[in-house]
Amino acid sequence: MEANTNKMVCLNDTNYHLWKEKMKDLLFVKKLHLPVYATEKHKDKTDRNGSLSITLFMVFVSQYVEDNVYNHIANEKDAKSLRKKIETMYAFSTRISKLYLLNSLINLRYKEEIFILDHLNDFQELQDQL
């Protein structure tokens, strides 16, 4: 089963909660979730397959972050530390996050140069995050 990754969003300063859920789903579909979401630790940390899966995880996640985010996470060497770093940088408290999203929804304006469907998709994404 090949996943459609065309709708995956890139992590930026404002969309962590949406990105997090989509990335988690995508990692499970691609079977790259083990370095972070495995319930058991690998028996041998020097195992080539273990380090390969960690590398694949890191490279895959790096593809879906914007450049300004990548600059902060590029030096992370381990999947769990990468996840923790992103979480501490972008996971706002629930109240602040909801307030920001509500404000974004209120201030969403249609721009003449974009398709109406794109505008409606932006509106739907903001609504889904609330």
Say yes or no: 3 and 57 in one domain: yes
Round the average pLDDT of the chain to a whole number and report it.
Answer: 77
Range of the domain at 121: 92-130
- pLDDT band per the 50, 70, 90 thresholds, residue 112: confident
* pLDDT value, residue 92: 62
Say yes or no: 85 and 108 in one domain: no
pLDDT mean over 53-59: 86
pLDDT mean over 101-117: 78
The residues with which 65 forms a beta bridge, in sequence order, are: 11
Say yes or no: 115 and 85 in one domain: no
* pLDDT value, residue 63: 92
Look at the chain and report how many structural domains it folds into.
2
Instruction: Count Cα atoms within 13 angstroms, Cβ side, for 55.
Output: 7
Residues 78 and 36: their CA atoms lie apart, in Å, by: 9
Q: What is the pTM of this model?
A: 0.58
CA 64 to chain centre: 7
- pLDDT band per the 50, 70, 90 thresholds, residue 53: confident
Say yes or no: 41 and 9 in one domain: yes
Residues 22 and 5: their CA atoms lie apart, in Å, by: 10
Q: What is the DSSP string of the chain?
A: -----TTPPPB-SS-HHHHHHHHHHHHHHTT--HHHH-SS--S-TT-HHHHHHHHHHHHHHHTTB-HHHHHHHTT--SHHHHHHHHHHHH---HHHHHHHHHHHHHT----TTS-HHHHHHHHHHHHHH-
